[in-house]
Structure 1
Amino acid sequence: METRIYAVTGAASGIGAATADQLAASGAKVIRCDVRDADVLADLTTPEGRDSLVSGVAAASGGRLDGVVAVAGLALPSDLTVRLNFFGTIATLEGLRPLLAAAEQPRAVAVSSLSAIVAADEGLARACLTMDEDAAATAARALVEAGHGRAVYPSSKLALNRWLRRAALSWAGAGIPLNAVAPGVVDTLTARAAFLDDPRTRALVAAAMPQPLGFPGPVDAVASLLAWTVSAANSFMTGQILYADGGAEATLRP
C-alpha cells in the first residue's frame, strides 16, 4: 500500500498542527502549509500566496495528493478574514484538486465553525457566494464600520458551508469526497487570546454556544475527526458539515 500524502493548511498551530501531527503519526507524509514554520509558506489572503501554495504543494508531493485538510483561518473583524476563510479556502481546495485526481482514494475537508449558525450575517454570506472577492471584502468592511465586526468570521464560515454543499456534488462525480468539520469552542492559543482568558467574554461565549460535553473542547478530538474524513476509511460520506462541538449544535437546534 502506498504511503498516503496529505497537505494541511494552517499547520503551524492549533487544530492544523494537531491534525498534521496525527496524520504523521499514522505513517502518512504530511506537507505542512502556513505563513510561518511550515514546509510550504503561503499567505492565502492573496492571489500570489494561493499560487505559491499550489506550486509548493505540487513540488513537495510529487504530483499526487491523497488528502487536503484546509484549516487556515482568521477570526479578525477584517476583510482579511473573508479573503482567507472563504476565498483562500476555496482556492486551496480547487487549486489542489488536480493533485487529488491523481490519487486512488482522494479526500478533502475544510474547517468551518459552529458560530456560522449563531452569529452570521446573511448579507455578507451572500456577497461571498457571488464569488466576487472585492465585493465581499467591501461588504465585510462595511460590517466592521457599522460596529458589527464580530459577524465577519461566522459569515465567512456560513458562506463556506453553502459553497461546499453545492461543490461536493461535482467533486463526488470525480470520486472525491468533500466535507467540512465545524468545531465549537476548543482550547487553542488563538481562542485563549481572543476570549477564553477574559472571564466576562468567556462567560458570554459559553452562554451563546453551550457545550454539554465541556467548554472549551479538546483540540485533539477535532483533529481526529478531520484526520478520519481524509482517510481511506471515509469512502461514502460527502457534502456534510460535521459538528465537533460538544453538543452545542444539538442544543441550539434540537
Structure 2
Amino acid sequence: MPRTIVVTGAASGIGKATAELLETAGDTVLRVDLHEGDVTGDLSDPAQIDRVAAEIAERTGGVLDGLVANAGVSAPSELSVRINYFGTVRLIEALRPQLAASDAPRISVTTSAATLQGNDPELVDLLLAGDAEAAVARGAALAAQGPQAGYANYSSSKRAISRWIRRKAPTDEYAGAGIGLNGVGPGQVRTGMTTELFASEEGRRRADDAMPAPYNGVAEAEHIAAVHAFLVSPANARMTGQVLFVDGGFDALRRGDDVWQSV
C-alpha cells in the first residue's frame, strides 16, 4: 500500500536520491526544501518550521507514514547548530502527532560519520539541554576562532542529534506510539556539497585522511538513500534507536572492535 513520506533537503544530494527512490517504489513523497519543494521553508527558523509542519498536515490530512529528516549544512558556523540539531528536532516533534496517526510510522534522520570525529563537549551538552540561545552563542564563539575550530559546530551538531535519537527512540512518545526512530551516518559521499572537495587530488587526499573509507571508497547519494528507504518502510518492524554508519568502514577503523559497554 502506498505510503506518504516527507523528505527534507530533497532538492539535491541524498534527499533528492531518497525522494526519487521512494517514488519509484510507489510512495507519495512530499519534498521539503529551502526554495525548491512541495513545501518550502527555512529550517533554521522556528516559526517557518511550525508553518512547514502545518502545511504538511493540510496536505496529508493529519496522517503521515514516514519522515526522512535529511536537511542539513556542513557550515563551520552556528548555522549548523540551528539547522542540524534544533531545526531537525523541532520538525520531528512538530510532525510527531501526524506520524502517530499512521499504522506504521517511521523516522530516519541523516546524521553523519562526523559524529565520531572531534567535537566540542560544551556545545554538545548545550544542544542536548535544549538551550538554543547558549548553544548558538557557543557556536558563534567557535566560528570566530577560524574554520578548524568552527568545524566543531558541524561535528557537535551531528553528535548531539545522534544522541538525541538514542534518547528518544525507546520512550513512550516514540516507541510507545509505534514510531521507529533511527539515523543514517554517511561517511564520504559524492554530492553537490562535496563536488569541489573531490575535484582535486589534494581534496581527495584530505578527505581520505579525515574519514577513510576502505570498503568501496566514496559513496554515491543513492547508496545512502537505499538505507533511508528501508528505515522508513514497514519492513523495518523492530529496529529503533540505531545510527547506521554507511561510511565504507570508517566507524570500524575509528572505534575498533569493541564498542559495547556493559551496564
The alignment's TM-score, normalised by the length of structure 2, stands at 0.93
Deviations 1:183-218 (A, max 9, x none): 00100011123x222432331221121101233212
Residue equivalent to 1:213: 215
The residue identity in structure 1 corresponding to 2:53 is: V
Distance in 1 separating the partners of 2:43 and 2:150: 21
Structure 2: gaps of 5 or more residues = 257-263
Q: CA deviation at 1:119?
A: 2.5
Deviations 1:87-109 (A, max 9, x none): 00001111101110111011011
Deviations 1:17-68 (A, max 9, x none): 0000000110000000001210000101001211121011111212111101
Paired residues for 1:69-218 under 5 Å: 69-147=68-146, 148-170=149-171, 171-193=174-196, 195-218=197-220
Q: Which runs of 4+ in 1 moved over 3 A?
A: none
Distance in 2 separating the partners of 1:103 and 1:133: 31
Distance in 2 separating the partners of 1:66 and 1:214: 33
Distance in 2 separating the partners of 1:119 and 1:220: 27
Distance in 1 separating the partners of 2:20 and 2:58: 21
Q: Secondary structure at the match of 1:30?
A: strand
Distance in 1 separating the partners of 2:204 and 2:155: 17
The alignment's TM-score, normalised by the length of structure 1, stands at 0.96
Judge conservation of contact 2:77–2:140 (CA < 8 Å) in 1: yes
Q: Which moved more, 1:202-211 or 1:226-235?
A: 202-211
Judge conservation of contact 2:77–2:142 (CA < 8 Å) in 1: no
Distance in 1 separating the partners of 2:222 and 2:169: 26
Residue equivalent to 1:230: 232
Structure 1: gaps of 5 or more residues = none
Q: Which moved more, 1:201-210 or 1:175-184?
A: 201-210
Seq. identity, %: 43
Aligned CA-pair RMSD: 1.1
Distance in 1 separating the partners of 2:216 and 2:94: 37
Distance in 1 separating the partners of 2:144 and 2:200: 24
The residue identity in structure 2 corresponding to 1:142 is: A
Residue equivalent to 2:259: none
Residue equivalent to 2:52: 53
Q: Secondary structure at the match of 1:87?
A: helix
